[in-house]
A and B are shown apart, each in its own frame.
Chain A
C-alpha cells in the first residue's frame, strides 16, 4: 500500500508544482465547448441531445492529455525503468499510476462540469448527482486501460499517437455506456436501461483493472 501512496503523492507534488498545465487543460476544454458550439449550429433541443457526448469528448480529451503527461515524467530520465528496478511489486506500481491519473482526471472533470452547466444551460436537480458515480466509473474504465497502454506506448518514439491508436478503439464500450447514462441523468429521466448499464460499467472497470494489474509486470520487463 505504501508503494501506491508514494506514487500518488509524488505525482500530485509534481502536478501542483506545474499548475500552469492544469490551467492550460481547463482552457482547452473551454475551447472544446466553444468550438463545438460553432461546428454544430443546432437548436436548443438538439443540443440537449448531443450535450452528453460533448461532455465526454471534453472529459476524454483532457484525460488523454493527463495520461500523456503522467507518463512523460516517467519517461524523461528513465524513471519507469528505475521504478521497475525497486523491490516494489509491478502490480502496485500500476495501481499507483492508475490511481493518480484517475484522481487527477476526476478533479479535472469536476472543474469542467460547471463550465458545461453554464454553457449548455443544464437544469440541475437531485438526479444530477448521479453524474458523480457515472463520471467515476467512466473515468476508471478509461484510465485503467489508459495507464497500461501508456506504459506500453512509452517505449516507442511515437508515444502520443500510438496511445490514441491503442486506447480509442478499446474504450468504445465504456464511452457508449457513459454517454448513455449521462444522457439519462441530464434529461432528468432514468430509463429502464440505466441500472443494467451502470452494472456493465462496473464489470468493465473490474475486468480491465484486474487484467492490467496482472500484465503490468510484462510491460516493464526488458
Chain B
C-alpha cells in the first residue's frame, strides 16, 4: 500500500499570498518515494509557485512543507533534488564536459571526473564532450540537460513544464529519459498541462485549479478520455484558459 512507503514530499495546507496575489489556497498532498507524480493545471493554477516552494526558492505564507522530512528553505536537502525546466540551465559557450564539471563542483560531487564521463555515456554524448553546447542540436541539448540533472545522483526530480517548446522528437526523447529515471526508482514530480504525456508517465496525479487541489488519484487504469473528461469538468466552470 501507498501509506507504507515514506513520503518524499509532504505538503499540508500550503498557502501563498502576497498583497493582491493569491498563488496557493491551502494545498495538501503527499508524494511517496519512487512515485511518478503529475500535477495537472492551467497556467496560473499555482503549479510553478508550488514547485518554487518545494525546491526551497520561495517560502509559503502558511502551512507546512517537508521534503525528505526537512524544510526545503533550509537548503539541507538540496543535493538530493534536481530541477528540470524548459530552460536548459546550461552555458552555451562551455563544452558539455565543462558544463558538467562546473555544476559538479557546485554540488560537491564525489569522484567528479568518473561521474561526468559516466553520465555522458549514459545519455550518449560522450563522443561530443569537447564540443560547445551552442553547436548542439535540440535533442542533444535535451540529453545534456538530463545529464546535468542526474549528475549529483539526486533522489527527487522536479520537472517544471519541461515539454514547453519541444518538438515531437525531443518530447519522445525526454519521455524515454524520464522512463529510465522512473525505472531506477527515482521520485519524480512533473507539472504540465499536457494530459496525454502526463498520464502516460504517472503513477499518481493531482489537478490544481484556481490555486486549489480539485482532484487527486491513481493513474493506473485511468484512460486518457476519462481523465480528459474529468479535467475539463473540473476546470470548465469558468472561462477556460488565461
What separation, in Å, do the CA atoms of A6 and B57 have in the docked complex?
A: 22
Interface presence of A14 (CB below 8 A) = yes
Q: Which residue in chain A gives the minimum CB-CB distance to B55? A: A85
How large, as a class, is the contact surface on chain A? 20 to 34
Q: A221 and B102 in contact (CB under 8 A), knowing A78-B85, A85-B83?
A: no
Tell which of B79, B93, B107, B108 touches A18, judged by Cβ atoms closer than 8 Å. B93
What separation, in Å, do the CA atoms of A14 and B94 have in the docked complex?
A: 6
Interface presence of B130 (CB below 8 A) = no
Q: A221 and B58 in contact (CB under 8 A), knowing A13-B98, A81-B89?
A: yes
Q: A3 and B85 in contact (CB under 8 A), knowing A73-B93, A77-B91, A84-B57?
A: no
Check A85 against B108 for contact (C-beta < 8 Å): no
What separation, in Å, do the CA atoms of A83 and B78 have in the docked complex?
A: 11
**Which chain B residues in 20-47 approach chain A with CB under 8 Å?**
none
Check B91 against A73 for contact (C-beta < 8 Å): yes
Query: Smallest CB–CB gap between A80 and chain B, Å?
Result: 10
**Which chain A residues in 1-31 approach chain B with CB under 8 Å?**
2-3, 5-6, 9-10, 13-14, 17-18
Q: Which residue in chain B gives the minimum CB-CB distance to A90? A: B75
Q: 13 other contacts beyond A76-B91, A87-B75, with CB at 8 A cut-off? A: A2-B105, A5-B105, A6-B105, A10-B94, A17-B132, A73-B91, A77-B88, A77-B89, A77-B92, A78-B87, A81-B57, A85-B78, A85-B83
What separation, in Å, do the CA atoms of A117 and B103 have in the docked complex?
A: 42
Q: Which residue in chain A gives the minimum CB-CB distance to B145? A: A77
How large, as a class, is the contact surface on chain B? 20 to 34
**Which chain B residues in 60-92 approach chain A with CB under 8 Å?**
75, 78-79, 83, 85, 87-92
Interface presence of B106 (CB below 8 A) = yes
Residues of B within 8 A of A76 (CB): 91-92
What separation, in Å, do the CA atoms of A86 and B88 have in the docked complex?
A: 15
Show 25 A/B contacts (Cβ-Cβ < 8 Å), sorted by A: A3-B105, A10-B98, A10-B102, A13-B98, A14-B91, A14-B93, A14-B94, A17-B94, A18-B93, A76-B92, A77-B87, A77-B90, A77-B92, A78-B85, A78-B88, A79-B91, A81-B87, A82-B83, A82-B89, A84-B57, A86-B103, A86-B107, A87-B78, A87-B106, A222-B57
Identify the 6 closest CB pairs spanning chains A and B, nearest first: A78-B87, A82-B89, A87-B78, A6-B105, A86-B106, A222-B58
Residues of A within 8 A of B88 (CB): 77-78
Query: Smallest CB–CB gap between A218 and chain B, Å?
Result: 11
Tell which of A2, A5, A17, A85 touches B93, judged by Cβ atoms closer than 8 Å. A17
Residues of B that sit less than 8 Å from A by CB: 52, 55, 57-58, 75, 78-79, 83, 85, 87-94, 98, 102-103, 105-108, 132
What separation, in Å, do the CA atoms of A79 and B108 have in the docked complex?
A: 18
What separation, in Å, do the CA atoms of A76 and B141 have in the docked complex?
A: 14
Query: Smallest CB–CB gap between B154 and chain A, Å?
Result: 11
Residues of B within 8 A of A88 (CB): 106
Q: Which residue in chain B gives the minimum CB-CB distance to A18? A: B93
Tell which of A13, A84, A87, A220 touches B107, judged by Cβ atoms closer than 8 Å. A87
What separation, in Å, do the CA atoms of A13 and B79 have in the docked complex?
A: 25
Residues of B within 8 A of A73 (CB): 91-93
Residues of B within 8 A of A221 (CB): 57-58
Check A10 against B91 for contact (C-beta < 8 Å): yes
Check A86 against B78 for contact (C-beta < 8 Å): yes
Residues of A within 8 A of B58 (CB): 221-222
What separation, in Å, do the CA atoms of A3 and B109 have in the docked complex?
A: 12
Check B87 against A85 for contact (C-beta < 8 Å): no
Query: Smallest CB–CB gap between A18 and chain B, Å?
Result: 6
Query: Smallest CB–CB gap between A144 and chain B, Å?
Result: 22
Check A3 against B106 for contact (C-beta < 8 Å): yes
